[in-house]
Structure 1
């Protein structure tokens, strides 16, 4: 593979390109900051490697051979691309950047995080853009590994096994509560278990976190409706006797939008935890580090909120 390149000093292509454009060894040497004798020596080496005279002297000008004319455009384009991709990356400046972050989300992170995030960035990074995608966690991890995503914002799973190249940062922690329409004033364990439930499964899980916890306690709830969307469920709850369990921060937002009340769960459930997943060796490292700092500085829920 690349057998032609292995026998070629790529610096010689800079000499070829300069002589071709200027049609002069002297002008080409000036551009490359080298002596005319050094440039002439470079041309001699390139002629020998390519087995072609490349240039003929005609008066004060260097005229290209047929082969040199064929090489000129692909050589110039290759040098341009190499120069572009090898240039040191400029420092990330959020005020002037137009970077687009691709982020895998759930309803919770879209509904509870992005209003605050976008309000903050309007002042600090007006040109920064986002493309939000719904993606199951393991698919999102694979997309991060392939470089198709910058972040995945999602809840952690018990005993999750994440690839070494993926960084998982503990980010948000929220308590679970239950919501039901305002006609109900209490919520006991007995009432919770007798109720019919709406369960949100953003990644079409067979069972939710609450079901696993109830099973550990030897209990069971009645699931009437499963939906992948958290956003429609509270409106269903507000017009029915159904009950829904969700993180408190989202519940408080819904309580201001629809006729529901939030109740502490009458039994123990571990806190809802959200992590920031990213690739440790992302090509946008400076921009990604900046966004992680912004995300972690938002005024969002914490344990005991």
Structure 2
């Protein structure tokens, strides 16, 4: 592979490019900080390798051969591309950066993070852009490993396995409460199991987190509706006899907006942790680390608590 490149001194390509653009050995030598004799020697080596005169003198100008005219655009494009991609990355400056972060979210994680985050970034990173996407599965390992998304906001329960290539940043801890229509006055375990339930499954999973926990307790609830979206769910509950498990982070907001009543779960269930997932070898490592720090700080300010505060 690359049998030609192995025999060619690639330092000769900028020489060719400079002579072609300037039509002058002297001006090309000045640009490349070489003596005219050194540049002429380099040009001779390239002529010998390519078996073509490449340039001939016409008065004070170096005119390209037909072959040189054919080569020139390819060499110029290759040098420009290499220069762009091999140039050391500049330190991340949030005030000046206008890059785009692609982040995998659910309705819930976007609701928790982005209203406050965008307000915080107005002053510190006004030109940053975001593309939020919903993925059909959790966690977003494939997309993160392939570089298709920069970060993923998701959640895990105690004991979940960690992927060796993933970094997990704890964002906050949360737990479920129950949303009901306004007519309900109390909620016992018996009433909970007897009622119909709306379950939000953002990745179209077969079971919600609480269903797995109820199975371990030898219990089962009656699921009437499964939906990937949390947005419409409290409004459906408000107009029906259905119950809905909802994280406390959004419960008060939804209670005000949709007119639902909030009850504690009538059984004990483990808390879950909302996390930021990132790839350890991400090409946006510095920028991603900065953004994760801002996210954690902002959620702490909005919620008034983090994992360390709760523990």
TM-score computed with the length of structure 2 as normaliser: 0.92
Shift of 1:140: 2.4
What's 1:71 paired with? 71
CA deviations over 1:258-288 (Å, ceiling 9, x no partner): 2212111121111122111111122222221
What is the rounded CA distance, in whole Å, between the counterparts of 2:177 and 2:254 in structure 1?
12
1:167 alignment partner, SS class: strand
What's 1:48 paired with? 48
In the alignment, is the contact (CA less than 8 A) between 2:198 and 2:242 conserved in 1?
A: yes
What is the rounded CA distance, in whole Å, between the counterparts of 2:166 and 2:287 in structure 1?
17
Matches within 5 A, 1:124-143: 124-138=124-138, 140-143=140-143
Stretches of structure 2 lacking an aligned partner (at least 5 in a row): none
**How many residues are treated as equivalent by the alignment?**
305
In the alignment, is the contact (CA less than 8 A) between 1:156 and 1:273 conserved in 2?
A: yes
Shift of 1:137: 3.8
Matches within 5 A, 1:221-300: 221-298=221-298, 299-300=302-303
CA deviations over 1:226-264 (Å, ceiling 9, x no partner): 111111111111111111112111111101112212111
What is the rounded CA distance, in whole Å, between the counterparts of 2:189 and 2:44 in structure 1?
89
Shift of 1:199: 0.9
What's 1:38 paired with? 38
Stretches of structure 1 lacking an aligned partner (at least 5 in a row): none
Flag the 1:137–1:295 CA change in 2: closer, same or farther, 3 A: farther
In the alignment, is the contact (CA less than 8 A) between 1:197 and 1:222 conserved in 2?
A: yes
What is the rounded CA distance, in whole Å, between the counterparts of 2:167 and 2:137 in structure 1?
14
TM-score computed with the length of structure 1 as normaliser: 0.93
Shift of 1:172: 1.9
CA deviations over 1:168-222 (Å, ceiling 9, x no partner): 2222210111111222222222221222211111111111111111111122211
What is the rounded CA distance, in whole Å, between the counterparts of 1:228 and 1:113 in structure 2?
19
Shift of 1:157: 5.7
In the alignment, is the contact (CA less than 8 A) between 2:182 and 2:259 conserved in 1?
A: yes
Question: Is 116-125 or 144-153 further displaced after alignment?
Answer: 116-125
What's 1:14 paired with? 14
Matches within 5 A, 1:179-218: 179-218=179-218
1:113 alignment partner, SS class: helix
RMSD over aligned Cα atoms: 1.9
Shift of 1:97: 1.7
In the alignment, is the contact (CA less than 8 A) between 1:198 and 1:243 conserved in 2?
A: yes
Shift of 1:164: 2.8
Matches within 5 A, 1:106-185: 106-138=106-138, 140-156=140-156, 160-161=160-161, 163-185=163-185
1:192 alignment partner, SS class: helix
Flag the 1:88–1:205 CA change in 2: closer, same or farther, 3 A: same
In the alignment, is the contact (CA less than 8 A) between 1:137 and 1:154 conserved in 2?
A: no
